[in-house]
Structure 1
Amino acid sequence: MTTQAVEDYEYEALPEDSSMSACLLAGAFAGIAEHAVMYPVDSIKTRMQILQPTPQAVYSGVLNAANKITTTEGARTLWRGVNSVILGAGPAHALYFGTYEYAKQAFGGNESGHHPVAAAAAGACATIASDALMNPFDVIKQRMQVHGSVYKSVMECGSKVYAAEGLRAFYISYPTTLTMTIPFQSLQFATYEYLRKVLNPSGKYDPMTHIVAGGIAGAVAAAATTPLDVAKTLLQTRGESTDVRIRNCSGLVEAWKLIYQRQGVAGFAKGLQPRVLSHMPSTAICWSVYEYGKWFLNRNNADQQPIMH
């Protein structure tokens, strides 16, 4: 294969013998990059969504929260629990993108033209699989993010939560998580695939396309699913609350009732700003790293093929 042929090789269609391994590896790197880079903003979002915050953890906005946390608790507080998402994000996102690519192909999403339904369905399949693996890590992360968290490590947090609340604590939010992430990922994937094809009809590797399409897709999906994310945060952090009703909250409907009773309709928009601010760049990073990983791994594979005359 000549150099020109290698450059023209369609990176979206990875070779038969390396497609899944390339998707898994690229997905793992993408997941770690996405969660780690924007982690401080995610920490602020979690704190702003707490239904019954301590007086020291009441914030008027993202900048106010960042300033208050860094000056009173130290900048490192914003990174507390990041090890949990790094441990979980790699394998979870490998499974996520691997499932997505397989399902998209099966549903006909790789055919020419726009296929938003196929992309959305593939995104839903991907999130069901990855969230089953990621949910316990997400619970540990949020327990470590709340104000006054006493946990010093991921292992300590995980073991103490398990001892006090059992295995159920790590999965009580899973149905709510899926209720949120299925529409989130379906909307995100459909928007991303549509914009990617509109901005880059040739289908060749173009970093700017993935940054723009990923950023817009992440912002749209994050804004639309914020009410579900508020309920998820309540369920995942309920064990740290001193409020009996919050501690005994057992599902999405009950969580929504509590939020509405305590904070009204405005309660469902808690954390909207930091959620969009974190998802817009993190989704752009995730897709950029993932698409680069596919292109890079595919190019290396193509470079190793016999030269054709």
Structure 2
Amino acid sequence: MATWRRDSRVTALQRLGCAGLAGALSLSLTAPLELLTVLAQVGTWHCRGGLRGAGHNLCRAEGLRALWKGNLTACLRLFPYSALQLAASRRLVILFTDELGHISHWRAIMAGSLAGMVATIVTYPTDVIKTRLIVQNRLEPSYEGILHAFYKIYHQEGLLALYRGVSPAILGAVPFSAGSFFVYINLDKIWREPIVHFTPLQNFINGCVAAGVAQTLSFPFETVKRKMQAQSPWLPHYGAVDVHFTGMADCFRQTVKNKGVLGLWSGLTPSLLKIVPYFGVMFSTFEFCKRVCLYRNGYIESPLNYKLTPGVDQSLQPQELRELKLLRRENFERRKSALEN
């Protein structure tokens, strides 16, 4: 069993800002690997020479900036996605928590998965736009930007086109959650010590391993989702997708028929290579931003470490601490005025 806890010394808005900034920075630094993953999943001509050849072909055809195609969309999507996921997760954790305030590991993972599903569905059109911007030629674009892509897809293909591929995205959450849970329940056996004694480094490694296993298991659904997002009769070469299909099941069938079973895992290598730098940058940036917030709120002496401010009650929430400081200042001013009189 686990107890649901969060640092009450940081406000919800500050927490969201920390998560958004950390996510945007980690996305930007690993954007080339994400782009290669999407191109391999869709099956564009760039990937005929393998991972290194894909990057070389893309840079030669469209320039170095092409490695960051679609990254702005991904970063902008992060803020509403994080807000929705955080709000849904808090509601679901409360729903799954027992009367003693405990929640099982499986229920915690389920709560996180369901919250992610809610956020994914609501923000899904931006994911479609990101895929379209990645697969198009930057020098001869079909879409001139995020808003133009949204407008053009909606008017040419209809509202449902902005949700094309949402079914495999939802179904993929099942093996993803199962993979995460499988790793989590075996962590104490792997490390040969209780979970509560894990160091931050062990928790980081655990997160990377769990993400790797979960991504590998759910990757076929991710591949089909990308192909469905990219395919369009309004785009050159039908969106440069390597197979033609009429729906999710047919996409699975055509991919296996033309590319073999392993074709469902095309792009897995750059996706796995992205895990360590992505989580490393995200966790370190989040921790630094959190220290800045704790420092601004008055709980620690410096944003460079976690040394607590003397005389500050760490159990108080930010608003309570501000009110206490204001009350002390008013009392000090009254005493000062009394002494002067």
Query: TM (normalized to structure 2)?
Result: 0.71
Distance (Å, rounded) in 2 between the aligned partners of 1:35 and 1:185: 22
RMSD: 3.7
- The residue type equivalent to 1:279 in the other structure is I
The 5 A counterparts of 1:130-209 are: 130-148=119-137, 150=141, 151-184=143-176, 187-188=179-180, 191=183, 201=196, 208-209=201-202
| Bigger mean CA deviation after superposition, 152-161 or 29-38 | 29-38
Identify which of 191, 200, 211 aligns with 2:204: 211
Identify which of 238, 242, 245 aligns with 2:237: 242
Indicate yes or no: 2:65 matched with 1:69. no
Aligned match of 2:84:
95
Aligned match of 2:7:
14
Distance (Å, rounded) in 2 between the aligned partners of 1:248 and 1:71: 27
Indicate yes or no: 2:230 matched with 1:230. no
Aligned match of 1:254:
250
Q: Helix, strand or coil: the match of 2:172?
A: helix
Structure 1 residues 80-109: Cα deviation after superposition (integer angstroms, max 9, x where no partner): 121111111111022223433443344239
Indicate yes or no: 2:62 matched with 1:78. no
Number of equivalences: 291
Indicate yes or no: 2:49 matched with 1:60. yes
Unaligned ranges ≥5, structure 2 = 300-317, 326-341
Identify which of 210, 214, 234 aligns with 1:221: 214
Aligned match of 1:7:
none
For residues 200 and 63 of structure 1, do their structure 2 counterparts lie closer, same or farther at Cα, with a shift above 3 Å needed?
farther
Contact persistence 2:92–2:111 (CA under 8 A)? yes
Divergent runs of 4+, >6 A: 109-114, 196-200
| Bigger mean CA deviation after superposition, 235-244 or 117-126 | 235-244
Structure 1 residues 20-61: Cα deviation after superposition (integer angstroms, max 9, x where no partner): 44543333334323422211111111111224x34xx23333
Distance (Å, rounded) in 1 between the aligned partners of 2:147 and 2:216: 32
For residues 113 and 283 of structure 1, do their structure 2 counterparts lie closer, same or farther at Cα, with a shift above 3 Å needed?
farther
- The residue type equivalent to 1:76 in the other structure is R
For residues 148 and 275 of structure 1, do their structure 2 counterparts lie closer, same or farther at Cα, with a shift above 3 Å needed?
same
For residues 84 and 235 of structure 1, do their structure 2 counterparts lie closer, same or farther at Cα, with a shift above 3 Å needed?
same
Query: TM (normalized to structure 1)?
Result: 0.78
- The residue type equivalent to 2:125 in the other structure is P
- The residue type equivalent to 1:251 in the other structure is G
| Bigger mean CA deviation after superposition, 248-257 or 288-297 | 288-297
Report deviation, 1:171: 0.6
Aligned match of 2:27:
35
Which structure is richer in relative contact order (CA contacts within 8 A, separation 6 or more)?
A: 1
Q: Kindly name which structure, 1 or 2, has the bigger radius of gyration based on alpha carbons.
A: 2
Unaligned ranges ≥5, structure 1 = 1-9
Q: Percent identity?
A: 22
Report deviation, 1:185: 5.0
